[in-house]
Chain A
Amino acid sequence: MIELANVSIRAGDFQLSDVSFSIETGRYAVLMGRTGRGKTTVLEAICGLRKVTSGQILVHGTDVTCWPPADREIGYVPQDLALFPTLTVLQHLQFALRLRGQSKADIQNRTDELAEVLGIQHLLKRSIVGLSGGERQRVALGRALSFHPSVLLLDEPLSALDESTREEMQELLREIKRTANVTTLHVTHSTEEADALADCRIELDNGKFQML
């Protein structure tokens, strides 16, 4: 469960005040709103990359407002993906598991499983240079899901993809929603995406959040 209680965030001249909403455990929420309204800022605040000026962020009832990003156990797929240029696809999937000191066998099992779900077995040895948009998206998704986070944040994951790749990715996200039981917050401005995926919708309009 993700809960934001009266959260205020300042980012330069941009200010969001009194953001409050909650998403039940295991639900797939879609956050909608026009560009430049602060959707990404909210995601960054939840995963700890942006300081909040007031209010509380709770993950499964625990107040994580002042926690460093590393301790929050939140999977984050930013809009620009921010893949690691010096690592291979496999190393992306292993990255968070290695940091957690998991055994070689456990890491192998998890990466095999992820690669199969994401359909990227044939890419594992490749560097991220030269991957297509859809492939990069899968790698970023795999990296975020690798450590079994309780919360997954997706920032416009389908906006940069072509029609057919987008449908494949939607199908993949539905599959993950069905199997991973991860509370998801998906940011988009496309109603079609919301129709296809959302359990619940949150609308951001004029700086106010509304649960629909």
Chain B
Amino acid sequence: MPDASKTHSPSNIRLRRSDLPFFLVMGGISSSFILLIILLLAADLMFTSFAEFKAALLKPEIQAAFRLTILSCSIAAILSIWVATPLGYLLSRYRFHGRMLLDTIVDIPIVLPPLVLGLSLLILFHLPIGGWELEAWLRDSVGFPVTYRWPAVVLAQFSVACAFAVRTMRVTFDQIDPRAEEVARTLGCTRGQAFMQIALPQAWRGMIAATTIAWARALGEFGPILVFAGATRMRTEVLSTTVFLELSIGQLNAAVAVSLLMVALAVVVLLLLRVLGTGLTS
């Protein structure tokens, strides 16, 4: 007879496989971050009142900044997705010499300190090359001056937003099986047709995500805009600049009100694009 005490019948195994510690540890660590964000927003809300919020929003400068923000962010996001889709596809699908270098170059705007990016843009547009200067040429020959005007806002936002959009599009195409495009080519597609008819329709979700990220990045952009576009009220002022300008003249209430407006704007745009994204793909 085998010794019953040594066998592993369910009755004599001590229950020690509780999942509770797992959830406590994981949930505890996760919630600390969520809590931080909620506390930040709650503090902002408590600092200001509805009347102050309304008063700030009625200022013509802030209304102008609001309009310019919506416009410039949208243009920057649309430009970003136009550039990021082909670039992300090339980086994802092809192995060529210098791809690593190209990959690194794309990331530079992400790691570059924002002020440095603004300064670099300013220098690029004003560097004299044998008596020729990009900004002077744009202003005098093309009739489209950039520096310290609204196009500078868009360009500064685009420089950073596009880098994030490229990352997203690259991951999107990495996750799409290239086999379908290959088979499409045996059926008579050129590479271009395979991209347009097979890869692109599968990339919808990623394109929406990339646009969202680009838009959100553009909204948060501040450093490059300040250096490259300046902070002229009613002309190159976007909401992030407004916060800075209001702070610098001691208008803390207005600064907080505009901050909350930006939070609301970001949430609305993110939700809108997310709903649009699920609607398109379902």
A→B interface (CB under 8 Å): 47-49, 68-70, 72, 74-76, 78, 80, 82-86, 95-96, 99-100, 143-144, 146-147
Decide: A48 and B202 in contact? CB cutoff 8 A. Answer: no
Bound-state CA distance A146–B193 (Å) is: 18
CB of B188 within 8 A of CB of A82, answer: no
| Contact of B179 with A by CB under 8 A | yes
Q: Contacting A70 at CB < 8 Å: which of B177, B190, B198, B201?
A: B190
Contact between B190 and A78, CB atoms less than 8 A apart: no
Question: Contacts A85-B202, A86-B201, A86-B202: A80 and B179 contacting too (C-beta < 8 A)?
Answer: yes
CB of B189 within 8 A of CB of A82, answer no
A80 and B190 CA atoms in complex are apart in Å by 21
Task: Tell whether A47 pairs with B180 under 8 Å between CB atoms, given A85-B202, A86-B202, A99-B193.
Answer: no
Distance, CA A70 to CA B184, complexed state (A): 8
Q: Give 5 A-B pairs besides A78-B179, A82-B177, A83-B180 with Cβ atoms closer than 8 angstroms.
A: A49-B185, A70-B188, A85-B202, A86-B201, A99-B187
Q: Which single residue of chain B is at the shortest CB-CB distance from A95?
A: B187
B187 close to A85 (CB less than 8 A): no
Q: Taking the nearest CB of chain A, how far is it from the CB of B184, in angstroms?
A: 7
| CB-defined contacts of B183 to chain A, threshold 8 Å | 76, 78, 82, 143
- Tally inter-chain residue pairs, CB-CB below 8 A: 57
Evaluate whether A76 and B186 lie within 8 angstroms (CB atoms) in the complex, with A84-B198, A85-B202 already known. yes
Closest to A83 in B: B180
Report yes or no: A84 in contact with B180, Cβ–Cβ below 8 A.
Answer: yes
By CB atoms of chain A within 10 A, which of B180, B182, B187 has the most?
A: B187
Quick one: closest A residue to B190, CB to CB? A70
User: SS class of chain B's interface: helix, strand, loop or mixed?
Assistant: helix
Q: What string of 1s and 0s marks CB contacts (under 8 Å) between B162-199 and chain A?
A: 00000000000000010110111111111001000010
What are 11 pairs between A and B in contact, CB < 8 Å? A69-B185, A72-B186, A78-B183, A80-B177, A82-B177, A84-B184, A86-B198, A86-B202, A95-B184, A99-B187, A146-B187
- In the bound assembly, the distance between CA atoms of A144 and B183 in angstroms comes to 9
CB of A2, distance to nearest CB on chain B (Å): 14
| Contact status A49-B186, CB under 8 Å | yes
Compute how far the CA of A86 lies from the CA of B186 in the bound complex, rounded to whole angstroms: 18
Given contacts A70-B188, A84-B198, A99-B187, contact A49 B180 (CB under 8 A): no
Separation in Å of the A123 CB from the closest CB of chain B? Answer: 19
Residues in chain A near residue B185, CB distance under 8 A? 48-49, 68-70
Within the complex, the shortest CB–CB distance from B256 to chain A, in Å, comes to 46
Which residues of B55-82 are within 8 A (CB) of A? Answer: none
Bound together, the chains give a CA A144 to CA B182 distance in angstroms of: 13
Q: Could you tell me the distance between the alpha carbons of A69 and B187 in the complex, rounded to whole angstroms?
A: 8
Residue in B closest to A44 when the chains form the complex, CB atoms: B182
Choose from A82, A95, A99, A146 the contact partner of B179 (Cβ within 8 Å). Answer: A82
For the complex, what is the distance from the CA of A84 to the CA of B205, rounded to whole Å?
A: 16
Q: Give the top 3 A-B pairs by smallest Cβ distance, nearest first.
A: A82-B179, A99-B188, A86-B201
- Residue of B185, B189, B202 contacting most chain A CB atoms (<10 Å): B185
Pick the contact of A96: B182, B188, B201 (CB < 8 A): B188
Rounded to whole Å, the gap between the CB of A210 and the closest CB of chain B is 27
What is the bound-complex CA distance between A95 and B181, given in angstroms? 12
Per the bound structure, the CA–CA distance linking A113 and B163 in Å amounts to 49
Q: Which residue of B lies closest to A92 (CB)?
A: B187
Contact of A70 with B186 at beta-carbon distance under 8 Å, contacts A86-B201, A86-B202, A99-B193 already known = yes
